[in-house]
Amino acid sequence: MMGETPLIGSTGFSMERLALAAAGIGLIVAGSRLLQRKRADLQGQVVLITGSSRGLGLALAEEFAQKGARLVICARNTRELEQARHMLAQQGTEVLAIQCDVTDREQVRQMIDHATEHYGQVDVLVNNAGIISAGPLQTLTQEDFTESMDIIFWGTYNTTMETLPQMLQRKNGRITNIASIGGKVSVPHLLPYASAKFAVVGFSEGLHAELAKDGIAVVTVAPGLMRTGSHINAFMKGSKHREEYTAFTLLDTLPFTSISARRAARQIVSATQRGSAEVIISVQAQLLARFHGLFPGITADILGVTDRLLPSSQGQGTDRYSGKESETAVTRSFLTALGQKAVKTYNQTTV
């Protein structure tokens, strides 16, 4: 019996520590949820959205405008940018359009200075600019990876670092980074895109942790497939680019594999108002992320099987083709009607 006493005491001590730990975790979770309930009022706020002349960026601009925000939109193509500015202005939105290549730090600096001079400050930054190059590994070049990293990751870095000083000075601001489910689960034939989006996720999650004490909320957004019309401006690699584009377009536009851009934009704006750490958009993306989190090995094996169903890489070469150059009878058929509508709705003129 004497030998059992320390065991009982030790067990009691362990249980006490366990209870305290559980209570601490509960307080952290409760505190996190409490912070998330404090929704930002976007009325009169200045929201800068990169890559906002078309697609999801334009859908986000429309949604922020409906909340009363004043907008700064930017893109590289001046014609598309002016078309987007006109569309938003017709809806009664106060909007400033600035031509900018987010891969160029000096251009980004000038854009932020212009926006700040015009409106006084930038309250919300949405990093959305991106590019998609799809194809088997053997068709991809180092330039494909460099371009994706430059636009998706370094573009996000450049705009964030140029906007951050004024937010830190005010001890207030929001940064929403549009990553992707492809930044959590790397899928076949999208390696440059996934690599860059993984980098954005790491950068964004680290920013959320480091900037919370400064009153700045950083939101990581991981959308699944969305009907933004972006398929028409994606790049397909190799001689089987038409087969690649057909598969890509069907997945990107069919209603049971994708969600509407407007619905996605509403969720992103809501998450920005809450200052959520992360939001994964679409049921399909949420299921994939959770399954991968629980069973990463099985997920990788399943994706390996999926890769065998995609166009073969043998003898393809590394040439790049636009969506317009890759269209087929299927991609122009009733099967992609929702995608074709999105192309027109969200200013997706072809490159």
List active site positions. 193
Q: Of 98, 195, 211, which is closest to residue 154 (Cα–Cα)?
A: 195
Q: Residue 205: beta bridge partners? A: none
The radius of gyration of the chain from alpha carbons, rounded to an integer in Å, stands at 23
CB of 135 closer than 8 Å to CB of 316:
yes
For 40, which DSSP code?
P
Per-residue burial over 189-219, b = 16 or more CB atoms within 10 Å of its CB, e = otherwise: bbbbbbbbbbbbbebbbebbeebeeeebbbb
Report the distance separating Cα 249 and Cα 230, nearest Å.
9
Amino acid at 144: D
Q: What share of the chain is helix, strand, coil (3-state, %, to 5)?
A: 60, 15, 30
* Strand duo 124-127 + 278-281: pairing: unpaired
